[in-house]
Amino acid sequence: MPETTALEADGKDWTWVLERVCPECNVDVRTFPIAEVGALIRANARAFAGEFDEHAATATRRSSPDRWSLLEYGCHVRDVYELYLLRLDLMLTENDPQYPNWDQDTTAVEENYGGQDPLIVADQIVGSADALADRFDTVTGDQWQRTGRRSDGASFTVESFARYLLHDPEHHLWDVRTS
C-alpha cells in the first residue's frame, strides 16, 4: 500500500457551517433535531463502511494528487470520531475545558493513513462512531449547554459541538462519493 504523502494543509476555519449550508456538500447542520445526533453519527459510519465494501479494490487510490483516497478519508473520519469522544467527555466532566490541539495533516502522515488496512479501518470507523454516538445518547437537558474551547479560541456548547462535528464526516462522505 502507498505511504501517505502530505497534501496542502487545510487552514480553513470551518465553524461557519454552524451558520449556513455548506455550498459543497449541501449539509445544513442547523436543521436536524439535536436528539438525533447519535443516530446520524451511526448512519454516517455505516455509509462510510459501505463505501469500503463497494470500492475495496480502489480504496488506496487518490482520484487526484490533491485529494485523499477513500482509505485516507476513512482514517481521518475514524480519528475525528475518537477525538470528539475525548473532547465530549472533557466538556461533560470539566468546566469549559480547552481541548488539546490536534493537527490532522500531521496525523495523516505520522499514522501513514494510506498504508493502513482498508478492512480494519472500515470496522474501526463503525466502532469509533458507535462509541461516540453512545456517549451523545447520554446527553440530556442542561448538558447540551456545557462549553469547551479549541486551542484557536473557538468556543462550543455541546450542542454546537455536535452540529459542527456532523458536518465533517458528512462532508468527507461527499468527498469520496464525488472523487
Per-residue confidence band for 96, with pLDDT thresholds at 50, 70 and 90: very high
Extract the C-alpha cell encoding 71.
482509505
Q: What confidence tens digit (pLDDT) does each residue in 36-66 have?
A: 999 999 999 999 999 999 999 999 999 888 8
pLDDT at residue 65, as a whole number = 86
- Residue 9's contacts (CB-CB under 8 Å, 6 or more residues apart) are 105
Q: What is the CA radius of gyration of the chain?
A: 16
Q: What confidence tens digit (pLDDT) does each residue in 149-170 have?
A: 998 889 999 999 999 999 999 9
DSSP state of 17: G
Architecture of domain 34-178: Up-down Bundle (1.20)
Spatial contact of 24 and 149, defined as CB atoms under 8 Å apart: no
Phi, psi (deg, nearest 5) at residue 98: -100, 125
* pLDDT value at 1 more than 50: no
0.85 exceeded by pTM: yes
CA dihedral for 139, 141, 144, 148, sign (positive or negative)? negative
DSSP run (H or E) holding 163: helix 158-178
Cα distances (Å, whole numbers) of residue 85 to 91, 100, 136, 148: 10, 13, 9, 13
pLDDT at residue 13, as a whole number = 78
